[in-house]
A and B are shown apart, each in its own frame.
Chain A
Amino acid sequence: MQKTAKQKGSFSRRLDSYMKEKRLPKSMTWAGVLAVGWKHFYFNFIIEFLVALIGLFLVLVFTNNQAIYWNILYAVVFSVVWIGLRIGWNYIRKTATKQEIIIAKDGTLRERSPSQWTLVWRRYKKNRIAVLSGAIVILVTIIAIAYPILMPFSPVGTTPLFDAWNGGGSLSNPNLKYPGGTDVLGRDEFSRILAGSEVSLTVGLFSSFLSAIIGVALGALAGYYRGWTEEIIMRLTDMFLALPFLVIAILAVSFIRRGRLAFLRQIPQSVVIIIVLGVFGWAGLCRLVNANTKQIYNLDYVNAARVLGASNSRIILVHILPNILAPIIVIVTLGIAGGILAEAGLTFLGLGSPTTISWGQMVNEAQTNLKTNPELALLPGFAIFFVVLAFNLLGDALRDALDPRLRE
């Protein structure tokens, strides 16, 4: 009781002194600067710069990468790039965002009604899981791009056997120096997992994009130009839907990589898998786009555009496609997860090339040592699992955000 009164008194006394002297105490000044400045334009960047610098520096030091001045240089370059991106993003947002307050026809000031994408972004931000999964996806992407400077060891270099005293060598269990242990050849598992993210993500992204391009183009054509075009395209779609996907993908990969045609054999492994997954995976999307295009085809605004003399291509590109974008985005995001899974499956079956670092292949190679070193198989396996999970969550969240009617 007395204590609170004393505190209260002290506070009021300080407030009184402030009112008299018009001067804040030092602590309150700095707190205020932090609190207000957090929302200030460039202050944010400075804080982020410092955090990023310290964080990266710590990561680099603990992963024991190279000489210390190189670490500093990396950290500085990384932070500068980060801040540049932030400033650029803010600049784009400022210039691209339209005025929130507009003058209506009757002369009053009104709030502009938010655009479709603003609404989507608001709904997306509300969903905590969505933001989290988005952050994980961005993190994995950063790892996949920046893994060369994050890796503590070379993913292909073997640790010499005398390093077994220090936790290295062949088939060592996880320790502080080698966080994931080492595999049969004495390569650091942790570095290999970091390096494997590149192939996984690249294959997932680009195979999904490839199948999206094929599927959307064919689906829109089939839905817009009915008749024979639709028949041919939809029969083709039926054919691709009837294919046993993985079986044919195995066949196609071995045809391209080990076949008789020399020019096909020279295509890199991950590109082959991208092409195969993209070429055999578009059928479902094509059906969806076809159905949606048919639905929109006879709506009034499309007819209006047609009456105004818009060409077929313009109607498809400007009037129809933007209106069926939502399901396409969702399918593509889920397709990335599917692509990562399919790539892991293919490489698990031994169709990867020995020079490419891939999670599925790592699981495959580690099967023989499951008894002594289960982490060699399970760590890359769970890496696949978490990335796929993040993309699946992102897909679900995007579906909820893009089309709230589909929720539940």
Chain B
Amino acid sequence: MDKSVAISLKIVGFLLLLVSAFIPLYSINFDSQPASIAGTHNDPANLVGTNGTLVRVLGFRIEYKVLSFSSVTNKTSENLLSSEVPSSIVILSAAIWFILIFAILATVLGQVFQSGGFKSRGTVADIAAAILFLCGLIASIISMNRTIFIAAERYQAAVTGQSASTINLNPITFNPNDNTPSYFDIGLAGSISPGFYIYIIGILILVTGIFLPVDWQKTAGTEMGRRLGENTVVRWIKTVAGLRLTTYITRRLLTLIPLFIAICVMTFVMVSGMGDPVSLMLLGKQRATEQDRINLTRKLGLDQPVYVQFMMWFYNLIQGDMGQSFTSGQPINSIIGGLIWETLKLQLAAYVIALVTSIPLGVIAAKNQNTWIDSSASAFALLAQSMPIFVFGLLLIYIFSGYGLGWFPAAKAHKVPAPTPVFSSETVGLFFSGQMGAWWASVSERLLDSIMHMVLPTITLAFNFMALYTRLVRSSMLEVLRQDFILAARANGLSERVVTWKHAFRNTLIPVVTFVGLFLATALAGAPITETLFTWPGLGYKYIVAIGFLDFPMILGTTAILTILILIGNLVTDIVYVAVDPRIEL
């Protein structure tokens, strides 16, 4: 069998399973609303029952029946129903997904690790991974079934066994002390959601790919290519798939997933142990009862055990939802979306300035080795490296802001009140209605204001980055200048300028360019200090604030976003490194 067939089957299967994870495993749909008819409260004759489908989990459907007294429009229960899902269902679906993902990872990583990539594979790895995978699959199906049936039995018992006036079972928490009068009728229905088909097909394809007998001596992509024919697209795909870089990137991407999950688990455990946000939020309230505390805890989802909280959070995270802030109630997505621009603006400006100044500085220092230029550049780099970022910032604030010369503002990103944003409806409206003078006045005010506020923090950050880069450029330039091809170039009579900038400098760029990705880690991790010093409304500053207020979703969201950025940065670094330097073995 062709090698490429097995590989592509595995990849397609993996992708399908991944896709199935993004299709919600459960869906909530309320087909009907609880009725409200006038009547007395305790009269069973006025009891109204409404049926509907509450939750779908893959192929299974939970139906509900809301019994409400006609006199009482049961607002509370209705709200609960429309806003919350029985936690057991969420846990269940998230757990299935988790087991599945880990099984897939075990399969793929087992092969990658034991056999050094997709080049060859070991029987042991295959068998172990396949067994693990099947175990995970069976376990997930069994657990799914069991939980559904247990839930169904409980609800059935609750609904059928007792009369309407005495039933006291809350569907949300299974708490018998909760008197919310709403009841569920559970039945398993046969309609299967499309996610389930994708799930099954993915598993089949992946398993087929694993057990396919393969002739590993053959080169990839010959037979399959012949079958597919020879048009441009196929040739292009074959070329790209045949590259070892593709394999390398795939491998790196696959290792990033467990890395990210592990980092998220660690962060989540630390965050959830950080304190009690409920008491903090109730601190200012007068006459906060125990019931308030319980309600708030349940509303924030903190009544669940930590692993359940993590599953719910992570499951939502991969679907692009990071929850809502505890303090302001806004979705974290929109908060971070607003903040990350401010942070990146600062970091990128500082980075560009640092690059533009430090590369010539490093090159000049290396060219004039062991002269006063070199030693002063090195001394400068050393000073900048040893200077705590906040001390330098404070010094700048003391000299240039209102304390001293008063040239630049020292706090916030905009003045108060802030000028109209450049891309707001007002400004754009001015532009399109042809009032160019007014438009330019508004835009320039905003831009000037932005730039004036950016000066001090940017210089502070750039000063810090420059140290690193000057040293890096200087040392790699020295290394390159000592090599033979420089000597050859000089012997050929090339001018010193050409030798320096065309021959030496281009080779110096290899480590410098690859450092771009690693920079991201240091830059973003250092953001809190600078931003706190300048009260810059960016990610780092708000992160510190969120830690003070125990705003869990905000802390988690920030760390997750930063981690993703850093992981992508590292990946890009590695790829660029391989792409730039052909000497690197994959």
Do A and B belong to a common assembly? yes
The distance from the CB of A390 to the nearest CB of chain B, in whole angstroms, is 8
Would you call A39 an interface residue if the criterion is a C-beta within 8 Å of the partner chain's C-beta atoms? no
The distance from the CB of A376 to the nearest CB of chain B, in whole angstroms, is 11
Q: Let me know if B259 and A385 touch, CB within 8 A.
A: no
Q: Let me know if B391 and A384 touch, CB within 8 A.
A: yes
* Cβ contacts B511-542/A at 8 Å (1 or 0 each): 00000000001101110110010000000100
Q: Which A377-408 residues sit within 8 Å CB-CB of chain B?
A: 377-378, 381-382, 384-385, 388-389, 392-393, 396, 408
- Per DSSP, chain B at the interface is helix
Q: Which B520-566 residues sit within 8 Å CB-CB of chain A?
A: 521-522, 524-526, 528-529, 532, 540, 543-544, 547, 555, 558-559, 562-563, 566
Given contacts A260-B275, A392-B385, contact A242 B521 (CB under 8 A): yes
Instruction: Give the residue of B369, B389, B570 whose beta carbon is less than 8 angstroms from that of A345.
Output: B389
What is the CA–CA distance of A348 and B532 in the complex, to the nearest angstrom?
A: 9
Would you call B224 an interface residue if the criterion is a C-beta within 8 Å of the partner chain's C-beta atoms? no
What is the CA–CA distance of A261 and B475 in the complex, to the nearest angstrom?
A: 48
What is the CA–CA distance of A246 and B522 in the complex, to the nearest angstrom?
A: 9
Q: Let me know if B387 and A246 touch, CB within 8 A.
A: no
Q: Let me know if B566 and A242 touch, CB within 8 A.
A: yes
Q: Give the most central of A231, A242, A247, A371: most B CB within 10 Å.
A: A247
The distance from the CB of B250 to the nearest CB of chain A, in whole angstroms, is 16
What is the CA–CA distance of A377 and B521 in the complex, to the nearest angstrom?
A: 28
Q: Let me know if A247 and B562 touch, CB within 8 A.
A: yes
Q: Which B376-409 residues sit within 8 Å CB-CB of chain A?
A: 382-383, 385-391, 394-395, 397-398, 403
What is the CA–CA distance of A261 and B478 in the complex, to the nearest angstrom?
A: 53
Q: Which A200-227 residues sit within 8 Å CB-CB of chain B?
A: none
Would you call B36 an interface residue if the criterion is a C-beta within 8 Å of the partner chain's C-beta atoms? no
Would you call B258 an interface residue if the criterion is a C-beta within 8 Å of the partner chain's C-beta atoms? yes
Q: Let me know if B388 and A252 touch, CB within 8 A.
A: no
Nearest opposing residue in chain A for B467, CB measure: A392
The distance from the CB of B482 to the nearest CB of chain A, in whole angstroms, is 9
Q: Let me know if B271 and A250 touch, CB within 8 A.
A: no
Would you call B450 an interface residue if the criterion is a C-beta within 8 Å of the partner chain's C-beta atoms? no
Q: Let me know if A247 and B567 touch, CB within 8 A.
A: no
Given contacts A247-B559, A363-B391, contact A261 B270 (CB under 8 A): no
Instruction: Give the residue of B262, B391, B526, B528 whose beta carbon is less than 8 angstroms from that of A378.
Output: B391
The interface size bin for chain A is 35 or more
Q: Let me know if A370 and B521 touch, CB within 8 A.
A: no
Would you call B273 an interface residue if the criterion is a C-beta within 8 Å of the partner chain's C-beta atoms? yes
What is the CA–CA distance of A261 and B274 in the complex, to the nearest angstrom?
A: 9
Q: Let me know if A251 and B395 touch, CB within 8 A.
A: no
What is the CA–CA distance of A244 and B528 in the complex, to the nearest angstrom?
A: 11
The residues of A that contact B388 with a CB separation of less than 8 Å are 341, 344-345, 348, 360, 381, 384-385, 388
Q: Let me know if B273 and A260 touch, CB within 8 A.
A: yes
What is the CA–CA distance of A337 and B389 in the complex, to the nearest angstrom?
A: 14
The residues of B that contact A378 with a CB separation of less than 8 Å are 391, 394-395, 398
What is the CA–CA distance of A85 and B387 in the complex, to the nearest angstrom?
A: 34
Would you call B292 an interface residue if the criterion is a C-beta within 8 Å of the partner chain's C-beta atoms? no
The distance from the CB of B87 to the nearest CB of chain A, in whole angstroms, is 22
The residues of A that contact B543 with a CB separation of less than 8 Å are 247, 250
Instruction: Give the residue of A231, A345, A370 whose beta carbon is less than 8 angstroms from that of B398.
Output: A370
Would you call B180 an interface residue if the criterion is a C-beta within 8 Å of the partner chain's C-beta atoms? no
- Per DSSP, chain A at the interface is helix
Q: Let me know if B524 and A345 touch, CB within 8 A.
A: no
The distance from the CB of A292 to the nearest CB of chain B, in whole angstroms, is 18
Given contacts A370-B398, A393-B382, contact A251 B555 (CB under 8 A): yes
Instruction: Give the residue of B259, B273, B566 whose beta carbon is less than 8 angstroms from that of A235.
Output: B259
Would you call B276 an interface residue if the criterion is a C-beta within 8 Å of the partner chain's C-beta atoms? yes
The residues of A that contact B258 with a CB separation of less than 8 Å are 235
What is the CA–CA distance of A245 and B566 in the complex, to the nearest angstrom?
A: 11
Given contacts A242-B567, A388-B386, contact A260 B391 (CB under 8 A): no
Would you call A66 an interface residue if the criterion is a C-beta within 8 Å of the partner chain's C-beta atoms? no
Q: Let me know if A381 and B394 touch, CB within 8 A.
A: yes
What is the CA–CA distance of A245 and B263 in the complex, to the nearest angstrom?
A: 12
Nearest opposing residue in chain B for A396, CB measure: B382
Q: Let me know if A385 and B387 touch, CB within 8 A.
A: yes
Q: Let me know if A259 and B259 touch, CB within 8 A.
A: no
Instruction: Give the residue of A250, A370, A393, A396 whose beta carbon is less than 8 angstroms from that of B394.
Output: A370
Would you call B333 an interface residue if the criterion is a C-beta within 8 Å of the partner chain's C-beta atoms? no
Nearest opposing residue in chain B for A408, CB measure: B478
Q: Let me know if A349 and B559 touch, CB within 8 A.
A: no
Q: Which B344-401 residues sit within 8 Å CB-CB of chain A?
A: 369, 382-383, 385-391, 394-395, 397-398
Q: Give the most central of A244, A254, A261, A388: most B CB within 10 Å.
A: A244
The residues of A that contact B276 with a CB separation of less than 8 Å are 260
What is the CA–CA distance of A308 and B555 in the complex, to the nearest angstrom?
A: 56
Q: Let me know if A392 and B382 touch, CB within 8 A.
A: yes
The distance from the CB of B472 to the nearest CB of chain A, in whole angstroms, is 14
Nearest opposing residue in chain B for A390, CB measure: B386
Q: Let me know if A255 and B398 touch, CB within 8 A.
A: no
Would you call B255 an interface residue if the criterion is a C-beta within 8 Å of the partner chain's C-beta atoms? yes
The distance from the CB of A295 to the nearest CB of chain B, in whole angstroms, is 15
Q: Which A130-154 residues sit within 8 Å CB-CB of chain B?
A: none
The distance from the CB of A334 to the nearest CB of chain B, in whole angstroms, is 10
The distance from the CB of B77 to the nearest CB of chain A, in whole angstroms, is 33
Instruction: Give the residue of B255, B369, B558 whose beta carbon is less than 8 angstroms from that of A408.
Output: B369
A: which residues have CB within 8 A of B?
228, 231, 235, 238-239, 241-248, 250-252, 254-255, 258-261, 337, 341, 344-345, 348-350, 360, 363, 367, 370-371, 374, 377-378, 381-382, 384-385, 388-389, 392-393, 396, 408
Question: 29 pairs across A/B with beta carbons < 8 Å?
Answer: A231-B113, A235-B258, A239-B263, A241-B570, A242-B566, A243-B563, A243-B566, A245-B525, A247-B540, A247-B562, A248-B559, A250-B544, A251-B547, A251-B555, A252-B270, A255-B274, A259-B273, A260-B273, A260-B274, A260-B275, A345-B388, A345-B529, A349-B528, A374-B403, A378-B395, A381-B388, A381-B391, A381-B394, A388-B386
